[in-house]
């Protein structure tokens, strides 16, 4: 008998799945603030800008028109048209109406795709560091996550040799996220071309391109999708995106995707028996987001880049921490290997990045996600999406002061 009798009612598949560590940290930060604790929260991958006015107005107008009822499961005709227009305008990708769909956030689209395609034991290649939800989605769908470590020496990106070595006859998917959560690394045209060469040799492998941070690219660089360099892979590639990061609409829960018609049909079937259509009001807002004024974006990207520069410079000035400069998104993946083996003032050793994150929360009031949650240690993921430059400077000062109190310097290099 299980220790808790109610556990006997739960499905066995839940045993392999973790709660989202990111959402847990966000909740912890809120609870600490509510209790009066002074914390700087670097955990949440969320913009702090307001949803643009014209997008908000589109939602208000939709409600005034009575657009508050069920829609087609995969999205209204107006939204599907806006999605197709966006892909053609921004990415040079031409899709038909039955090759696109909307869902309750990008997250649902990824889950729909896994549930619609994976059989027991099918393998999904996930480069690490990864977004925390990828492996658990695969497990819930009955698949097997195949985690491929991609270290700092490769800027946390998958190499062709590593991809080739990971592919087996059971491989069903490769997941690519660029710019990446949690590292901010983005694949270049040359790097994607090299990965495409490997994928052409393995026609059984589907490709999931998670482009949710597409609009947040720094230093004047251009975003590139694998289909931009390998259009011949279109018949087995799903491109997932959404308005959460690009238009500060995380709470609106609206994602969209393009894929071969057979996959969209299967994903729509799954969705029809789970949530049905995404929120009708959010769909109207998304039409305005995709078709309307985009002039606000350069200022947002400039502000994010400024925050990135403050955080990277501040962290690299701290003994025991180092980090690369991310290409996009709003994360820094900081190497804390120089702290492993040191001891806190009360005598506790820092054995891993979990210990480091816990110490920073206790002693500095800084919330960061430990790299173990993202599949690659010893690192810390820090988000600057909703933290001002002044607060980031304060966070670095707090971190530096707390780490200066550690004893010993027999650190393990990462």
Q: In this predicted model, what pLDDT tens digit does every residue of 64-110 receive, in sequence order? A: 999 999 999 999 999 999 999 999 999 999 999 999 999 999 999 99
211 within 8 A of 262, measured Cβ to Cβ:
no
Does residue 262 belong to any structural domain of this protein? Answer: yes
| Same domain, residue pair 273 and 163 | yes
Q: What is the mean pLDDT of residues 5-32?
A: 77
3-state helix, strand, coil in the chain (%, to 5): 45, 15, 40
CATH code of residue 282: 3.40.640.10
In DSSP terms, 183 is beta-bridged to: none
| Same domain, residue pair 191 and 302 | no
Does residue 82 belong to any structural domain of this protein? Answer: yes
353 within 8 A of 370, measured Cβ to Cβ:
yes
CATH code of residue 376: 3.90.1150.10
Beta strands in 307-413 (DSSP E): 322-323, 331-335, 366-367, 369-370, 379-383
How far, in Å, CA of 383 to CA of 365, rounded? 15
| Contact residues for 302 (Cβ-Cβ < 8 A; gap 6+) | none
| Same domain, residue pair 33 and 73 | no
- pLDDT value for 2: 55
Q: Is 238 exposed, middle or buried (0-12, 13-18, 19+ CB in 10 A)?
A: buried
| Contact residues for 385 (Cβ-Cβ < 8 A; gap 6+) | 44, 45, 46, 47, 48, 245, 304, 330, 331
Q: What is the mean pLDDT of residues 333-356?
A: 96
Question: N- to C-terminal Cα distance for the chain?
Answer: 43
Buried/exposed 370-397: b ≥16 CB within 10 Å, e otherwise: bbebbbbbbbbbbbbbbbeeebbebbbe
- pLDDT value for 186: 98
CA 58 to chain centre: 27
CA 21 to chain centre: 13
How far, in Å, CA of 140 to CA of 118, rounded? 10
- pLDDT value for 28: 73
Q: Of the candidates 291, 310, 341, which is a domain's last residue? A: 291
| Same domain, residue pair 236 and 108 | yes
Does residue 408 belong to any structural domain of this protein? Answer: no
Does residue 57 belong to any structural domain of this protein? Answer: no
Q: Of the candidates 238, 268, 291, which is a domain's last residue? A: 291
Q: What is the DSSP string of 89-145?
A: HHH-----GGGEEEESSHHHHHHHHHHHHPPTT-EEEEEES--THHHHHHHHTT-EE
- pLDDT value for 412: 37
pLDDT in tens, 126-179: 999 999 999 999 999 999 999 999 999 999 999 999 999 999 999 999 999 999
Domain span including residue 162 = 67-291
Q: Is 265 exposed, middle or buried (0-12, 13-18, 19+ CB in 10 A)?
A: middle
Q: Which of 354, 307, 353 is nearest to 331 (CA)?
A: 307
Count of structural domains within the chain: 2
Q: What is the mean pLDDT of residues 398-404?
A: 97
- pLDDT value for 7: 72
Q: Of the candidates 291, 323, 356, which is a domain's last residue? A: 291
Q: What is the mean pLDDT of residues 107-117?
A: 98
Does residue 414 belong to any structural domain of this protein? Answer: no
| Same domain, residue pair 192 and 90 | yes
- pLDDT value for 13: 85
Tell me the two tokens of residue 141.
């769908």
- pLDDT value for 413: 34
Q: Report the residue count for the chain.
A: 414
Does residue 58 belong to any structural domain of this protein? Answer: no
- pLDDT value for 94: 98
Q: pLDDT class for 29, splitting at 50, 70, 90? A: confident
| Same domain, residue pair 130 and 102 | yes
| Same domain, residue pair 284 and 182 | yes
Packing angle, helices 106-117 and 133-140, rounded to 10: 40
256 within 8 A of 101, measured Cβ to Cβ:
yes
42 within 8 A of 393, measured Cβ to Cβ:
no
| Same domain, residue pair 72 and 117 | yes
Does residue 413 belong to any structural domain of this protein? Answer: no
| Same domain, residue pair 362 and 235 | no
| Same domain, residue pair 193 and 209 | yes
Supply the pTM of this predicted model: 0.94
Q: Which has more confidence, 27 or 387?
A: 387
Does residue 229 belong to any structural domain of this protein? Answer: yes
Longest dimension (CA), the chain: 66
| Same domain, residue pair 246 and 328 | no
| Same domain, residue pair 329 and 202 | no
């Amino acid at each position: 008998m299980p220790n808790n009798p109610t556990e006997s009612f739960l499905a066995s598949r839940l045993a392999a799945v973790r709660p989202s560590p990111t959402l847990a940290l966000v909740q912890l930060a809120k609870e600490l603030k509510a209790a009066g604790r002074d914390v700087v929260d670097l955990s949440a991958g969320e913009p702090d800008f307001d949803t643009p006015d014209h997008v908000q107005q589109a939602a208000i107008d939709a409600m005034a028109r009575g657009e508050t009822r069920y829609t087609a499961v995969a999205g209204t005709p107006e939204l599907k048209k806006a999605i197709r227009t966006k892909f053609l305008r921004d990415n040079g990708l031409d899709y038909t109406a039955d090759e696109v769909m909307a869902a309750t956030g990008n997250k649902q689209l990824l889950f729909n795709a896994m549930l619609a395609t994976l059989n027991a034991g099918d393998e999904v290649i996930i480069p690490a560091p990864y977004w925390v939800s990828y492996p658990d989605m695969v497990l819930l769908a009955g698949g097997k996550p195949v985690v491929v470590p991609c270290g700092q020496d490769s800027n946390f990106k998958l190499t062709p040799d590593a991809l080739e070595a990971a592919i087996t006859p059971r491989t069903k998917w490769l997941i690519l996220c660029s710019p990446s959560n949690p590292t901010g690394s983005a694949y270049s045209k040359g790097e994607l071309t090299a990965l495409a060469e490997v994928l052409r040799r393995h026609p059984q492998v589907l490709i999931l391109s998670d482009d949710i941070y597409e609009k947040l690219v720094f230093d004047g660089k251009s975003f590139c999708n694998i289909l931009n360099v390998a259009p011949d892979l279109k018949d087995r590639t799903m491109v997932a995106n959404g308005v959460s990061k690009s238009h500060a609409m995380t709470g609106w829960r609206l994602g969209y995707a393009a894929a071969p018609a057979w996959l969209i049909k299967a994903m729509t079937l799954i969705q029809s028996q789970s949530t049905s259509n995404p929120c009708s009001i959010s769909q109207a807002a998304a039409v305005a987001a995709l078709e309307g004024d985009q002039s606000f974006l350069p200022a947002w990207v400039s502000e994010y880049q400024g925050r990135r520069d403050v955080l990277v410079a501040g962290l690299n000035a701290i003994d025991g921490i180092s980090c690369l400069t991310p290409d996009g998104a709003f994360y820094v993946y900081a190497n804390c290997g120089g702290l492993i083996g040191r001891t806190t003032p009360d005598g506790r050793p820092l054995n891993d990045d979990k210990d480091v994150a816990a110490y920073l929360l206790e002693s500095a009031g800084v919330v960061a996600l430990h790299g173990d949650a993202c599949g690659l240690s010893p690192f810390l993921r820090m988000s600057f999406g909703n933290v001002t430059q002044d607060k980031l400077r304060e966070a670095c000062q707090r971190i530096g002061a707390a780490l200066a109190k550690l004893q010993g310097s027999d650190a393990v290099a990462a």
